[in-house]
């Protein structure tokens, strides 16, 4: 494999011009002298280019954003004159600040600076005091205030504001974590106060932007003192509800269930677990259950020292379980607030059902469903959850878990009809929404269902609606990110990938999305780290192999790809209709596949093509992941168009995360002359029209 290395421009020590982006846009020379710009559209154009620093914006898009009511020819002429005037204004200040081509315009990132960039640089360097001072100067001012040129301009600007707020939140969290680890309590406190001041009055049009600074915590699995033969689902249910309830406190960032439960029965110290989870505090505990009586012990652990900061015991019964859980959640919140010196909202527990039997079945189903892999675990989960909603049809959370279980059947099992499972998922998700419209995750599941119907616009619409309702749900952020990646909007996806990992840092699925972003952006060293993290967490090594192949390490890549076979019959299941294979045949198949994908030899690639054609012919599901994934890996455009044209399923759309990379031979697919017609047939082109064209494809001049 070969790839085009993309140039990364570092922030200059001495820029030619500096822009104030927060509040009213202003431009200054390197000596601090303000540069007057009387033309308001020229000011707006320059502001847009600064917000998109070092990334080109299509001239057609710029003309429509700034002159929406003019005829196309008049708008283009106005843009041409505006760019000419700005070029004359900027030319004396430094070489090639403004770069204009026939199709696009951008600023030279090596020659410019801004207050937004300064703040991001201070945070990246871990300079908490400097970042706090800049935040204090910026205050609550929104990015590029006071500009309005119509609906399209406002929507574009709102999107850029949202992306910037996401980046800043992640950078602030990283800086706070680093300050805690090095014992910089003064800088930690100063940055928390400065960021909290800004976020308390965050602009309302920044959808999903965090409202205030968040303290990072994780709830570890509680010890089930009552359990027999590993029946600890009741204690797991207590922990699940604590994670959900504490996650509703705006001041807390609670690690997701996948990450927390990764450390069940771990031999690591509390401090080591806190470091892995990137949290400042851990909540540990135990549950005793005797007949109808319940006793919960809970402790707050300082993640830096491993010492207990607070602990308490709570007694109750199954009849008042929700009140007991609420008391625990509120006590933990109060203890954290006192420890951190912050005011925190008190959480309220969800009263999910009045039926003890339905709740017990729900806990058992959720515990089984969360395992995903295992002989019949999803079928058992569906059985318990179906019983729960039969007993209490108004149990919204049970409908959500049932929808999730059907989704996992469609993706991770040898399912004969994946889209039938997707339909059952959608039916359950709709029931949950009808009962609890405030829930977000069911909308994300409906988004997946719309993909199977070639309604990619509807899928993205549902995903963003899910994010609007539950921005702190890691599964929701992951779904938004994945849909954007599938459509080639890799750069737009990155803030959501970051948010998902911040919320759930031990989930290999989220690192697969991070790999896709870095691989698609050509940042192969970062892609290699993400791929290694996927392997370390027990998932397939194919992403690691692909990255090694791109870097020219073909022999190593072949070895890494072959290792994927170790996960066959566990995480990777043979496709329906493939039959059983002897060990010798299995070894031969995986070696052939590894060479076809990773050797860089055309003969090996063609041999694998022949095997894919055979598999397409004999398999029950012509669009099985075993066909679609390797077809993309090897740049087999004809097979991609044929297999995905057969139908999209919740399983095979996962292959799209490999599609958008500027590497050989993958680029042969999206550069193929039949790719745009294929994208139109499956509904992808319609999604581009609404949500933006792929980063790697210039928008056509005539649609």
- Comparing CA positions, the residue from 646, 677, 644 lying closest to residue 658 is 644
Q: In which residue are the tokens 């590993």 written?
A: 230
Residue 13 in this model has a pLDDT that exceeds 60: no
The Cα-based distances of 600 to 144, 546, 554, 604 in angstroms read 48, 11, 7, 8
Distance CA 419, CA 452 (A): 7
List, in sequence order, every residue forming a beta bridge with 314; answer none if it has no partner: 296
Does the pTM surpass 0.75? The reply is no
Residue 471 in this model has a pLDDT that exceeds 50: yes
pLDDT tens digits for 84-109?
Answer: 888 888 888 877 888 888 888 888 87
pLDDT: is 430 or 539 the higher one? 430
Q: Tell me, what's the pLDDT at 231? A: 57
Q: How confident is the model at residue 302 (pLDDT cuts 50, 70, 90)?
A: confident
> What is the maximal distance between C-alpha atoms in the chain?
82
**Residue pair 327/314 in contact by the 8 Å Cβ criterion:** yes
Q: Does domain 17-200 have CATH number 1.10.10.10?
A: yes
Please compute the mean of the pLDDT values over residues 408-430 and round it to a whole number: 92
Q: Identify the CATH number of the domain defined by range 356-442.
A: 1.25.40.10
Q: Which two tokens stand for residue 90?
A: 């900027």
Residue 14 in this model has a pLDDT that exceeds 90: no
The Cα-based distances of 293 to 233, 289, 351 in angstroms read 16, 6, 19
Distance CA 206, CA 489 (A): 19
pLDDT: is 559 or 208 the higher one? 559
The Cα-based distances of 202 to 165, 205, 206 in angstroms read 9, 9, 8
In percent, how much of the chain has pLDDT > 70? Answer: 91
pLDDT tens digits for 215-232?
Answer: 788 999 998 886 555 557
Q: Which two tokens stand for residue 331?
A: 């006590």
> Which 8-state DSSP code applies to residue 28?
E
Q: In which residue are the tokens 């390197």 written?
A: 30
**Residue pair 503/475 in contact by the 8 Å Cβ criterion:** no
- Comparing CA positions, the residue from 418, 485, 424 lying closest to residue 621 is 418
Range 630-633, long-range pairs (CB < 8 A, 24+ positions) = 630/593, 630/596, 630/597, 631/655, 632/656, 632/658, 632/659, 632/666, 632/669, 633/542, 633/546, 633/597, 633/658, 633/666
Residue 359 in this model has a pLDDT that exceeds 60: yes
pLDDT tens digits for 512-539?
Answer: 999 999 999 999 999 999 999 999 988 8
In percent, how much of the chain has pLDDT > 90? Answer: 37
Domain ranges of the chain: 17-200, 215-340, 356-442, 526-691
Residue 12 in this model has a pLDDT that exceeds 60: no
Distance CA 672, CA 575 (A): 28
Q: Note the helical H segments in 247-298.
A: 257-261, 270-277
pLDDT tens digits for 617-665?
Answer: 888 888 888 899 999 999 999 999 999 988 899 999 999 999 999 999 9
**Residue pair 557/548 in contact by the 8 Å Cβ criterion:** yes
Query: For residue 525, what are the contacts with CB-CB under 8 A and spacing of at least 6?
Result: none
Report the range of poorest mean pLDDT among 222-226, 362-366, 568-572: 568-572
Query: For residue 173, what are the contacts with CB-CB under 8 A and spacing of at least 6?
Result: 214, 216, 253, 502
Q: How confident is the model at residue 205 (pLDDT cuts 50, 70, 90)?
A: very low
Coil, helix or strand at residue 642: helix
List, in sequence order, every residue forming a beta bridge with 19; answer none if it has no partner: 27, 114
Half-sphere exposure of 184 (CA within 13 A, CB side): 16
538 Ramachandran zone, left/alpha/beta (phi>0; psi -120 to 50): left
| Crossing angle for the helix pair 396-412 and 377-391, to the nearest 10 degrees | 160
What's the CATH architecture for 215-340? 3-Layer(aba) Sandwich (3.40)
């Amino acid at each position: 494999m070969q790839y085009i290395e993309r140039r990364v421009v570092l922030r200059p020590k001495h820029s030619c011009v500096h822009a104030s982006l927060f509040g009213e846009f202003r431009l200054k020379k390197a000596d601090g002298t303000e540069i007057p710009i009387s033309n308001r559209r020229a000011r707006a154009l320059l502001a847009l280019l600064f917000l998109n620093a070092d990334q080109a914006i299509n001239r057609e898009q710029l003309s429509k954003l700034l002159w929406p009511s003019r005829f196309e020819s008049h708008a283009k002429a106005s843009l041409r004159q505006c760019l000419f005037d700005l070029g004359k204004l900027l030319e004396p200040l430094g070489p090639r600040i403004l770069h204009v081509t026939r199709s696009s315009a951008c600023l030279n990132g090596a020659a410019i600076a801004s207050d937004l960039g300064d703040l991001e640089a201070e945070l990246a360097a871990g300079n908490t005091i400097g970042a706090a001072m800049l935040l204090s100067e910026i205050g609550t001012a929104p990015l590029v205030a006071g500009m309005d040129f119509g609906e399209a301009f406002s929507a574009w600007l709102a999107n850029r504001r949202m992306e910037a707020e996401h980046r800043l939140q992640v950078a602030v969290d990283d800086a706070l974590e680093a300050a805690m680890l090095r014992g910089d309590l003064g800088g930690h406190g100063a940055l928390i106060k400065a960021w909290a001041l800004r976020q308390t009055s965050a602009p309302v049009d920044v959808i999903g932007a965090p409202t205030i600074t968040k303290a990072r915590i994780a709830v570890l699995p509680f010890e089930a003192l009552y359990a027999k033969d590993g029946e600890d689902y009741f204690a797991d249910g207590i922990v699940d509800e604590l994670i959900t309830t504490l996650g509703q406190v705006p001041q807390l960032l609670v690690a997701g269930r996948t990450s927390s439960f990764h450390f069940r029965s771990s031999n690591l110290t509390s401090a080591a677990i806190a470091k892995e989870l990137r949290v400042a505090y851990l909540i540990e505990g135990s549950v005793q259950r005797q007949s109808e009586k319940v006793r919960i012990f809970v402790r707050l652990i300082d993640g830096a020292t491993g010492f207990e900061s607070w602990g308490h015991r709570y007694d109750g019964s199954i009849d008042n379980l929700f009140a007991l859980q609420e008391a625990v959640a509120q006590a933990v919140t109060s203890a954290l607030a006192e420890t951190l010196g912050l005011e925190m909202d008190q959480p309220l527990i969800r009263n999910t059902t009045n039926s003890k039997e339905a709740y017990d079945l729900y806990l058992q189903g959720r515990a089984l469903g969360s395992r995903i892999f295992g002989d019949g675990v999803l079928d058992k989960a569906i059985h318990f959850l179906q019983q729960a909603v039969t007993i209490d049809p108004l149990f919204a959370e049970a409908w959500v878990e049932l929808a999730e279980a059907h989704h996992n059947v469609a993706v991770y099992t040898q399912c004969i009809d994946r889209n039938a499972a997707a339909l059952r998922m959608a039916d359950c998700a709709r029931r949950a929404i009808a009962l609890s419209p405030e829930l977000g995750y069911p909308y994300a599941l409906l988004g997946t269902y719309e993909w199977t119907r070639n309604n990619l616009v509807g899928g993205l619409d549902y995903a963003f609606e899910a994010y609007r309702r539950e921005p702190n749900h890691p599964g929701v952020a992951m779904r938004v990110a994945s849909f954007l990646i599938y459509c080639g909007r890799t750069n737009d996806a990155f803030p959501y990938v970051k948010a998902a990992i911040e919320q759930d840092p031990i989930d290999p699925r989220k690192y697969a999305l991070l790999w896709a972003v870095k691989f698609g952006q050509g940042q192969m060293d970062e892609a290699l780290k993400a791929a290694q993290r996927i392997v370390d967490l027990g998932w397939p090594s194919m992403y690691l192999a692909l990255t090694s192949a791109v870097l020219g390490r073909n022999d190593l890549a072949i070895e890494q790809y072959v290792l994927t076979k170790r996960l066959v019959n566990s995480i990777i299941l043979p496709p329906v209709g493939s039959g059983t294979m002897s060990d010798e045949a299995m070894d031969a198949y995986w070696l052939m596949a590894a060479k076809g994908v990773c050797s860089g030899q055309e003969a090996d690639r063609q041999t694998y093509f022949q095997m894919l054609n055979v598999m397409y012919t004999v398999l029950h599901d012509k669009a099985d992941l075993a066909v679609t994934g390797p077809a993309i890996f090897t740049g087999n455009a004809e097979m991609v168009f044929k297999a995905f044209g057969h139908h999209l399923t919740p399983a095979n759309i996962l292959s799209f995360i490999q599609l958008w990379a500027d590497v050989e031979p993958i680029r042969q697919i999206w550069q193929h002359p039949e790719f745009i017609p294929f994208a139109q047939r499956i509904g992808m082109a319609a999604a581009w029209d609404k949500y933006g064209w792929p980063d790697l494809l210039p928008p056509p001049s005539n649609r």
